[in-house]
Amino acid sequence: MNNVKVVAIPDKTRIIINYGYEDDKRNATLYAKEGQKIAVVSQGVTITDPDSNSKLGEYTPIKKKLEITDVFKRFSVARSVTSSKENTLSLAISPMLKNFNTKTFDYLPVNEEQILDIPENNGIISVGDMVVFLR
């Protein structure tokens, strides 16, 4: 399951990744499945512990979380899937009854001299972008 990438962009609602139902026959739990959650990520930055100087891993900013919707032998299609549980009758009566779930992030009081030089995530998905699998 190494080096899974975006290999094609058919339109504005789908991407194709180079991972299908035959990609890891050794472990039946690792092949691509419909409903599997993935994330398209930006180039990563190695994170190091300042005390031990040991490498802790790679921080790869997420461009977009997606779901595999179609699986083929050696590739899969992924889309941004949103599900709605609103009652259509209540929305017809008053659109203001719709619940909005938005996240905002407040600034933290950080030492600006210690901010890593990680490029801002522009969210643009491109062919060649790396893909990681989410739990």
DSSP per residue, the chain: -TT-BEEEEEETTEEEES--TTS-TT-TTSS--TT-EEEEEPPPEEEE-TTT--EEEEE--EEEEEEEEEE-SS-EEEE--------HHHHHH-GGGS-------------GGG---PPP------TT-EEEE--
Q: pLDDT at residue 52 above 60?
A: yes
Task: Report pLDDT for 127.
Answer: 95
pTM exceeds 0.75 for this model = no
45 pLDDT band, cuts 50/70/90, is: confident
Does residue 12 register a pLDDT over 90? yes
Place of tokens 């522009």: 122
Work out the average pLDDT over 75-80: 95
